[in-house]
Amino acid sequence: MNIVIKYIFWILIVLLLIIFAYFFVGWAPQSQSTVWGVNFSQKHAKDLGLDWRESYSAILDDLKAKNLKVAVHWDVIEPSKNAYDFSDIDWQVGEAQKRQAKLILIIGMKTSRWPECHLPEWAKGLTKEEQQSAILAEIEALVARYKDNPGLLAWQPENEALFPFGECPWTDQKFLEKEAALVKKLDPNHPVIISDSGEGSLWFKAAKIGDIVGVTTYKKVWMGQFNSYFSYPIPSVFYYRKAQLVKALFGKEVWSVELQAEPWCPVLLYDCPMIEQKKTMNLEKFQSNIKFAQQAGFDHFYLWGAEWMYWMKAKQGDSTVWDEAKKLF
């Protein structure tokens, strides 16, 4: 029996070494045609004290981004029950279309930026079932309005719905599947992106639901549970190998839809002192993140932090990161 246990032990050790080598050893082939884009949230721009339309226009005209992932916040779209206000998103879609830019629209309840889940006041007292019914109605209205727009690239129902982060009333994988199925039914001509944690997941659940897997790529963050900053000890090949596994098992492409390009502070970004901001993002760290991304083998990267970069330029008189980002576009 002791011999059997010994053999099992060594077999497990060998398997662990093989798994470690697969994910952590080696290099990824560098993409020859990287598509660079940015994320944008009008609410986040306003929280930073910016004119969000001015910020959006600067991203298109000065940064010259041609690919944007835009958060369509539920509380902005439907401030009153069954009374939709499309004016803000109409403007964003229209301005992008004028410049031949392509958009990914994030729709649903959890659409990025704190508090992550953007419920209208009227929806907060509803039951879970009533909230889900209202979300599906909102999605149906949005897809019907923008599915034929030539600037639409893809839909993203929810933002990291499989990852428990933010002030959200519930998480529900079955409902995410229902949202994705509804979008595909209403608009079979555009892919559905399902986003997931790049660092804390194998992406299998997202791959089962979506046409494209969207993942995060973060290097240095604030870990509240440890009350300290944390740098992920993950090489770029880690992302590439996971993407290859997803492609082999599910036939799905993986995009980095959140590449860290802004600080991650102990408090909300617009309350974070500059000395803290620079601990996780500055020109040197931005350049390092771009180099890391280029070594990950992905074809698509969307910068997370365009609003902050413009805030640094417009409000702090520091355009170094913004100017460095312009080189990508």
Task: Report the alpha-carbon distance of residue 65 to residue 92 in Å, rounded.
Answer: 13
Structure pTM? 0.95
Strands 220-223, 228-231: pairing is antiparallel
Which residue, among 94, 120, 121, 117, has the nearest Cα to 170 in the 3D structure? 117
Domain boundaries, the chain: 2-326
Task: Report the alpha-carbon distance of residue 152 to residue 136 in Å, rounded.
Answer: 20
Under CATH, to which class is 2-326 assigned? alpha beta
pLDDT at 57: 98
258 forms beta bridges with 216
Q: To the nearest whole percent, how much of the chain has pLDDT over 90? A: 89
pLDDT at 1: 57
Rounded to 10°, the helix 173-186/128-146 angle is: 30
Q: State which residues of the chain have pLDDT below 50.
A: none
pLDDT at 230: 95
pLDDT at 278: 96
pLDDT at 281: 98
